């Protein structure tokens, strides 16, 4: 039989065998956000296109070539969310959250859509854990947000992650830096790659990001934004670094860290991993003190990050991190003959009402086939009901983990007895 339909390019099915990783990541996220005092706010999967054009910025790759945009039946311009921040800031403004105690600490998880060429660790639909803190420009909030990421990765058991930190300045100091950078590169036009000549006019900050060998000496001698930060931005970074050093956090100041969204101001950071392909960022974020105002709200500083769960799961596999398995049923019902099947279905319901995780085989297969499948589930017990037992008003409880000891129980009230028997038992993990 030829397979007709495949998952669309850039999308993946998260199969049952992968779910333990995902469940564990979500469990850890839940613990971390509780520990840090964050509230969940879910925003729609699609928004008005203008939100992202205004928020993320024209000229960014996301807006220029990566948005899944369409016109709905009502003629509205709609875009599948390519990031979380703009939507969450929109919700903050829409619901008057400036009236809440500030800052407001929010998180969410869910799918993100970007029309990109697929490669290892990069999908057209991926899932992010997103954190945003709105309403404070205190550098301690920068520390707080970075700490959420630190704690998450530490709780997941990762080693060898590299935290990268930089400042992108602000609208007051960044133009002077860009001007200096452009001026510097204009003197080296003949030496840099073709892409860099294009970046020079389109997006000068990205010049620092070039990986072409011949451009590296030029980058190394390029002016640093650190030397151009205004006193406010310089002080903000210095204070944050003081806090980080005080906590003994290892991080690298990366002069070349520039992020692809227009709204960033001051702090930007990423977390890098090795061994998951060329797309090595498992977390990226920064401060966006001008975004709320750009979106029509009161001036409201903010900072946040997104972290890609697909990449986190890749890294867990790469690092061999163990996660809890899927619980097996506690008991599997096995029957022989139609009368027994009908009675077994009643017992199945009774067991579930007693909170016993119970399953039954279908399609009237042979006892052997039913036991074989019961064994495969990893269930510690089977309950076998055949004509003999039914006639005697009994049912056989059979242990499945060892050599299969069998014990006859009265059929009436069997659910209660089994529930009591299993109640004290360990949770069974396949």
Partner RNA sequence: GUGGGCGUAGCCGAGUGGAUAAGGCAUCUGGUUGUGGCCCAGAAGACCGUGGGUUCAAAUCCCACCGCUCACCCCA
Residues 166-225 that bind RNA (CB under 7 A): 195, 199, 203, 206, 209-212
Under rule CB under 7 A, which residues in 394-413 are in contact with RNA?
A: 396, 398-404, 406
Rule CB under 7 A: is residue 94 a binding residue for RNA?
no
What number of chain residues touch RNA (CB under 7 A)? 76
Binding of RNA by 14 (CB under 7 A): no
Rounded Cα gap, residues 389 and 92, in angstroms:
64
CA 244 from centroid of its chain's CA atoms: 24
Sheet holding 162-167, edge to edge: 39-40, 104-113, 125-134, 302-308, 281-287, 265-272, 162-167, 252-253
The residue within the footprint of RNA, chosen from 126, 174, 266, 287 (CB under 7 A), is 126
Three-class SS state of 77:
strand
**In the complex, least distance from residue 150 CB atom to RNA, rounded to whole angstroms:** 14
Interface mask (CB under 7 A) for RNA, residues 269-308, using x and -? -x------xxxxxxxx---------------------xxx
Residue 114, interface with RNA (CB under 7 A)? yes
SS3 112: strand
Cis peptide before 348 (omega within 30 of 0): no
Q: Is 147 helix (H, G, I), strand (E, B) or coil?
A: helix
- Which tokens belong to 408? 């006859």
- As a whole number of angstroms, the longest Cα–Cα distance in the chain is 97
> x/- string (CB under 7 A) for RNA, residues 28-47?
--------------------
321 Cβ partners below 8 Å, 6+ apart? 156, 157, 158
- Which residues within the stretch 148-167 sit at the binding site for RNA (CB under 7 A)? none
The region, left, alpha or beta by phi > 0 then psi within -120 to 50, assigned to residue 404 is: left
Q: Which of 20, 43, 60, 79 binds RNA (CB under 7 A)?
A: 60
Q: Which is nearer to RNA, 285 or 290 (CB)?
A: 285
- Taking the complex as a whole, how short is the minimal distance between the CB of residue 112 and RNA, in angstroms? 7
- CA–CA gap between residue 98 and residue 114 (Å, rounded): 31
123 is a site residue for RNA (CB under 7 A):
yes
CA distance 401 to 377: 11
Least Å from the CB of residue 393 to RNA = 12
Name the β-bridge partners of 104.
Answer: 134
Q: 322-361 mask for RNA (x: CB under 7 A)?
A: --------------x-------------------------
- Residue 310 touches RNA, criterion: CB under 7 A: yes
What is the footprint of RNA within residues 72-91 (CB under 7 A)? 83
Nearer to RNA, 299 or 393 (CB): 393
């Amino acid at each position: 039989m030829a397979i007709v339909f495949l998952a669309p390019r850039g999308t993946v099915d998260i199969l049952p065998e992968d779910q333990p990783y995902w469940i564990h990541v979500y469990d850890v996220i839940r613990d971390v956000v509780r520990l840090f005092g964050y509230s969940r706010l879910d925003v729609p999967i699609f928004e008005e296109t203008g939100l992202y054009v205004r928020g993320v910025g024209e000229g960014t790759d996301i807006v220029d070539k990566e948005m899944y945009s369409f016109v709905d039946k009502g003629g509205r311009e709609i875009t599948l969310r390519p990031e979380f921040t703009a939507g969450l800031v929109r919700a903050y403004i829409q619901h008057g959250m400036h009236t809440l105690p500030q800052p407001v600490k929010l998180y969410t998880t869910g799918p993100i859509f970007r029309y990109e060429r697929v490669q290892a660790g990069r999908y057209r639909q991926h899932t992010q854990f997103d954190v945003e803190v709105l309403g404070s420009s205190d550098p301690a909030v920068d520390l707080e947000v970075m700490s959420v990421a630190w704690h998450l990765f530490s709780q997941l058991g990762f080693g060898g992650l590299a935290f990268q930190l930089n400042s992108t300045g602000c609208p007051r100091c960044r133009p002077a830096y860009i001007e200096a950078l452009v001026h510097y590169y204009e003197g080296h036009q003949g030496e840099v790659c073709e892409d860099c000549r294009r970046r020079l006019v389109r997006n000068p900050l990205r010049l620092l990001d070039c990986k072409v060998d011949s451009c590296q000496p030029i980058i190394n001698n390029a002016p640093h934004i650190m030397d151009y930060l205004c006193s406010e931005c310089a002080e903000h970074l210095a204070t944050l670094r003081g806090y980080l050093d005080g906590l003994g956090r290892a991080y690298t100041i990366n002069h070349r860290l520039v992020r692809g969204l227009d709204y960033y101001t001051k702090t930007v950071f990423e977390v890098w991993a090795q061994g998951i392909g060329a797309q090595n960022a498992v977390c990226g974020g920064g401060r966006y003190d001008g975004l709320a105002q750009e979106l029509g709200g009161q001036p409201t500083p903010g900072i946040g990050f997104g972290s890609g769960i697909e990449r986190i799961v890749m890294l867990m596999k790469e690092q061999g991190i163990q996660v809890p398995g899927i619980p097996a049923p506690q008991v599997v019902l096995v029957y022989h003959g139609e009368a027994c099947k009908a009675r077994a279905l009643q017992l199945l319901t009774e067991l579930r009402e007693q909170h016993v995780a119970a399953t039954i085989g279908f399609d009237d297969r042979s006892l052997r086939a039913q036991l074989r499948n019961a064994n495969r589930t990893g269930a510690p017990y089977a309950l076998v009901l055949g004509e003999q037992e039914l006639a005697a008003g009994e049912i056989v409880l059979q242990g499945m983990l060892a050599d299969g000891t069998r014990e006859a129980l009265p059929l009436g009230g069997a659910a209660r007895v089994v529930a009591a028997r299993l109640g004290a038992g360990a949770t069974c993990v396949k």
